[in-house]
Amino acid sequence: MPAVEATPVSSSESGLIKMEDRKRPAGHDQNDAAPPSKRQATAVNGNKPHPDADMPWKDDLERFTKDAIWRQMQEFKREKVTLESKVKEMSKAATFHQDHLRIIDAWFKQLIDEVKILFGDSDANGKDHPFQTSLLFEDNENFQKHLKSRSSDIKDTISKLIANAPKATQEVSELQSQLTKKLAEERVTLVELEKAISERQQFEEQLEAASLRYMMAEKKLDRARSMTVAKLEKQYILGASRPGGDGSSSATREETATPVNGAASSPEKNSDLEEAYNKTLAVSQKQREQLDTLEAENAKLTSEITALNVKNSKLTDDDYAHTDLFKQLKSQYEDVIKRVNHLEALNVQLREEAGKLQAERTAYRNNMDAEKQKEIEEKDAQLQKAESDLARIRNARDELLAEQQMRKATQEQESTAASKAQELAAAREAQIESLESEVERLRIQVDGLKDDTAELEGLSVEELRTKYQNLDRQYAMLNKELTSMQTVCKKYSSLASQKVADISALEEKAQRLTAEKSKADQKYFAAMKSKEARDAEVRTLRLQNLKSSDIISQLKDAEAATRSLVANLEKQIAEGKEALISVTTKYRASQQQNAENVVTIDGLKAQVAELKSLMTAKDSTLASTSAACRKAEAEVESLKSTLSDTKKSLENWKTKSLGNSSSEYEMLRTLALCTVCRRNFKNTAIKTCGHVFCKDCVEERQVSRSRKCPNCNKSFGSNDYMHVTL
């Protein structure tokens, strides 16, 4: 495989630019897309020549170098396009400034015209005499943009100029204002006209330049497509690859191919005659086919014209019925009628369903209200009966409890009084017993005294005296004892009476407290009873509230479901109404369109009449055009026959040229094939060493991680190869 030197291909941009500036000729055409012809650098000053200088791939190396230089030229062209865009922007800015100057010039011309209209100058202050001028050009955007900053000064100057102008009538002032407006409009039109003329000139220049470039490109394209140029280039390439004796052989071939003094040989004369005969035969056959076609078309058109004349003389309703417009309108009308009927039926059905649902909802609500009211009344009656029974039972219980408490209290009081009375009775009995014993003792003593009295007579005075003393002493003692007994009895009786009074007072107090306690118990029981009644009432009310809330929630859910159903039905009804309204509007629009179509048909009839007149005028044009077309078709057939003969001769020449240059073709083909696989053409160059292979071989080495050049074993990476075109 030929090795490619990587230095000129991968050189820096600055080095290439310097080389281009040094080597580019002065008269080089910037529009030429082909690479410029340059001389290759040779080894000078005793430098060692390149090792591949004498190799067969020297020309390939030169071609790759030119390709690199051509790519750099393409970069220069892209930079040129960028600079051209900048030049366009600068030209736009210059156009803006030219418009600015042109507008100012026109404005000052208009100012001079207005001053000439006023016929006079004045230096007085003109602020009190404003002039209705049109110099501001308020209706023009360009004047607004360019003269906005100078409008006040210009207005003051004009006011000063016209301050002492002669007073004119209203008509004259109106004429002056109209004149100024017209002059301003004229100036605006002139400015736009000048701008359009300048733009037209620029566009014409650009068109000429583009036409010139187009013509040059077309010439280059024709030259590139020319077979003769291709043959010459091929001969040049073959001559360059075989510098030895190919020149003499090609000259010999040219001499043998072309006769002396330009005289044609006899086989060439026969071929020319055969070509002319084939051309004439093809033209005659084409003309015969054209005549047959024209006769058939003429007969067909004549019959059609007759039928159309008969038909167009009087159109019937069936003719109108078979038109596409009538069918379309009829189908639309039937569709609208079907939709309207469907919507009306749907509307009636929805109304019936809505009324039925409303009646069911009302009946269900009334039924539920009656049932719940009946249940509530029954529960209230049962509750009142239970509350009355409970109150009666509680009252009886409270009365029995109070009576029991009172009896217990009285019984306790009676038992305490009886115990006290028993104690007093026991004390009195003891006292009575003591008194009885004393009485007995005294009685015994009295009996002894009676016995002693009988014995006293027998006693002496001393004995009597002593006895008297003893008795007196006993009597005194008894008197003392009686007095003490009296005092004790008095005290005892007073204490007993006091004790009895205290006990009776305590008993009365106890009875009073017991009565108060019973009353308080009754009040407490009544309060507890009322509390329990309130609690029971609260519980019943809560239960009723819960039941009522459940019923209300159920009713609300049912009502919400019914409302949603009613809303959906109302929505469907509204949609049906909207659809009905839209269908009605469409129907009216179709009626209006039908009327418009009638008017359009009338206009089209007039147009048909005009077209008939135009058709008769254009028949002659069509005949001339068809004649020209037939003539052109005949020429085309002749050219086709000429082209077929030319292709045959070209194939003959190709076979001859391939037979003469098969060895050179095989040599070039082997040179272009990849040296590794010998299957694909070379299209990928390695940047590190410059060798060229096919893309499959390079990618295969890249994938297998054998990243070395097959020729020089120089390493390369994934970004060290590029696509090239041979």
Give me the amino acid identity at 399: E
Please check whether residue 281 lies inside any domain of the structure.
no
Residue 35 gets which letter from DSSP?
Answer: P
Q: Are residues 586 and 724 in the same domain?
A: no
Report residue 201 CA to chain centroid gap.
Answer: 50
- Contact in structure between 30 and 713 (CB atoms under 8 Å): no
- For the cut 60, the answer to whether the pLDDT of residue 513 exceeds it is yes
The CATH number of residue 684's host domain is: 3.30.40.10
Residue 709 gets which letter from DSSP?
Answer: -
- For the cut 70, the answer to whether the pLDDT of residue 604 exceeds it is yes
Report the distance separating Cα 235 and Cα 630, nearest Å: 43
Q: Are residues 579 and 713 in the same domain?
A: no
Write down the pLDDT at residue 457: 66
81-120: pLDDT as tens digits: 878 877 888 888 888 888 878 787 777 777 767 766 664 4
Pairing mode, strands 684-686 and 692-693: antiparallel
**pLDDT band at residue 136 using 50, 70 and 90 as cut-offs:** very low
Q: Are residues 619 and 712 in the same domain?
A: no
Report the distance separating Cα 318 and Cα 134, nearest Å: 67
Q: CB atoms < 10 A from the CB of 338, how many?
A: 11
Please check whether residue 547 lies inside any domain of the structure.
yes
Write down the pLDDT at residue 569: 83
Q: Are residues 447 and 558 in the same domain?
A: yes
Identify the sign of the CA torsion 392, 398, 401, 403: negative
Write down the pLDDT at residue 245: 40
- For the cut 60, the answer to whether the pLDDT of residue 33 exceeds it is no
70-80: pLDDT as tens digits: 878 888 887 88
Q: Are residues 696 and 611 in the same domain?
A: no
Most confident among 28-42, 229-243, 431-445 (mean pLDDT) = 431-445
Please check whether residue 154 lies inside any domain of the structure.
no
Give me the amino acid identity at 167: K
Report the distance separating Cα 474 and Cα 452, nearest Å: 15
- For the cut 50, the answer to whether the pLDDT of residue 129 exceeds it is no
Q: Are residues 434 and 517 in the same domain?
A: yes
669-724: pLDDT as tens digits: 788 888 888 888 888 999 888 889 998 999 888 888 888 898 888 888 888 888 88
Q: Are residues 405 and 500 in the same domain?
A: yes
Please check whether residue 454 lies inside any domain of the structure.
yes
Name which residue leads in pLDDT, 659 or 310. 310
**pLDDT band at residue 259 using 50, 70 and 90 as cut-offs:** very low
Most confident among 54-68, 125-139, 288-302, 508-522 (mean pLDDT) = 508-522
Write down the pLDDT at residue 132: 47
- For the cut 70, the answer to whether the pLDDT of residue 667 exceeds it is yes
1-10: pLDDT as tens digits: 333 333 333 3
Report the distance separating Cα 187 and Cα 102, nearest Å: 10
- For the cut 70, the answer to whether the pLDDT of residue 274 exceeds it is no
Give me the amino acid identity at 697: C
Percentages helix, strand, coil for the chain, rounded to the nearest 5?
A: 80, 0, 20
Q: Rounded to two decimals, what is the model's pTM?
A: 0.24
**Look-up of token digits 């292709």:** 647
621-645: pLDDT as tens digits: 777 777 777 777 777 777 777 777 7
Report the distance separating Cα 667 and Cα 289, nearest Å: 53
- For the cut 70, the answer to whether the pLDDT of residue 656 exceeds it is no
Write down the pLDDT at residue 52: 53
Interval 233-237 mean pLDDT: 64
Q: Are residues 712 and 606 in the same domain?
A: no
Q: Are residues 586 and 725 in the same domain?
A: no
- Contact in structure between 30 and 37 (CB atoms under 8 Å): no
- For every residue of 662-690, which 3-state class applies, written as one string? HHHHHHHHHHHECCCCCCCECCEEECCCC
281-338: pLDDT as tens digits: 777 777 777 777 777 777 777 777 777 776 666 666 777 677 777 777 777 788 888 8
3-state secondary structure of 542: helix
28-37, 188-197, 639-648: the lowest-pLDDT one: 28-37
- Contact in structure between 140 and 187 (CB atoms under 8 Å): no
**Helix (H) or strand (E) run with residue 722 in it:** strand 721-723
Write down the pLDDT at residue 40: 45
Q: Are residues 572 and 703 in the same domain?
A: no
Write down the pLDDT at residue 44: 42
- For the cut 80, the answer to whether the pLDDT of residue 420 exceeds it is no
Please check whether residue 434 lies inside any domain of the structure.
yes
- Count: domains in the chain: 2
Sheet harboring 692-693: ordered strands across? 692-693, 684-686, 721-723
721: region left, alpha or beta (phi > 0 left; psi from -120 to 50 alpha): beta
Angle at 58 between CA 52 and CA 64, to 5 degrees: 110
- For the cut 50, the answer to whether the pLDDT of residue 128 exceeds it is no
**pLDDT band at residue 161 using 50, 70 and 90 as cut-offs:** low
Q: Is 562 exposed, middle or buried (0-12, 13-18, 19+ CB in 10 A)?
A: middle
Interval 355-362 mean pLDDT: 86
Identify the sign of the CA torsion 718, 720, 723, 726: negative
- For the cut 50, the answer to whether the pLDDT of residue 14 exceeds it is no
Write down the pLDDT at residue 492: 73
Beta strands in 223-358 (DSSP E): none
Q: Single out the residue in 626, 642, 658 at which a domain terminates.
A: 626
- For the cut 80, the answer to whether the pLDDT of residue 130 exceeds it is no
Give the burial string for 422-450 (b: 16+ CB within 10 Å, else e): eeeeeeeeeeeeeeeeeeeeeeeeeeeee
Angle at 12 between CA 9 and CA 14, to 5 degrees: 130
440-498: pLDDT as tens digits: 777 777 666 666 666 666 667 787 788 788 878 877 777 777 777 777 777 777 777 77
Q: Single out the residue in 604, 626, 648 at which a domain terminates.
A: 626
Write down the pLDDT at residue 362: 86
Report the distance separating Cα 574 and Cα 266, nearest Å: 98
Give me the amino acid identity at 204: E
Please check whether residue 372 lies inside any domain of the structure.
yes
Please check whether residue 332 lies inside any domain of the structure.
yes
Interval 498-515 mean pLDDT: 80
Name which residue leads in pLDDT, 449 or 207. 207
Angle at 293 between CA 288 and CA 297, to 5 degrees: 150
Please check whether residue 199 lies inside any domain of the structure.
no
Q: CB atoms < 10 A from the CB of 84, how many?
A: 10
Which of 237, 55, 259, 258 lies closest to 661, judged by CA? 237
- For the cut 50, the answer to whether the pLDDT of residue 248 exceeds it is no
- Contact in structure between 682 and 672 (CB atoms under 8 Å): yes
How confident is the prediction for the chain on average, in pLDDT? 72
- For the cut 70, the answer to whether the pLDDT of residue 266 exceeds it is no
570-599: pLDDT as tens digits: 888 888 888 888 888 888 877 777 777 777
How far from each other are the two terminal CA atoms of the chain, in whole angstroms?
14
Report residue 612 CA to chain centroid gap.
Answer: 57
Write down the pLDDT at residue 389: 83
Q: Are residues 566 and 498 in the same domain?
A: yes
- Contact in structure between 1 and 691 (CB atoms under 8 Å): yes
Q: Are residues 491 and 590 in the same domain?
A: yes
For the chain, percent of residues with pLDDT exceeding 90: 0
- For every residue of 84-126, which 3-state class applies, written as one string? HHHHHHHHHHHHHHHHHHHHHHHHHHHHHHHHHHHCCCCCCCC
Pull the structure tokens for residue 185.
């409009």
- For the cut 60, the answer to whether the pLDDT of residue 251 exceeds it is no
Q: CB atoms < 10 A from the CB of 69, how many?
A: 20
3-state secondary structure of 692: strand
**pLDDT band at residue 616 using 50, 70 and 90 as cut-offs:** confident
**Domain carrying residue 459:** 324-626
Which of 99, 94, 92, 97 lies closest to 191, judged by CA? 99
Give me the amino acid identity at 222: D
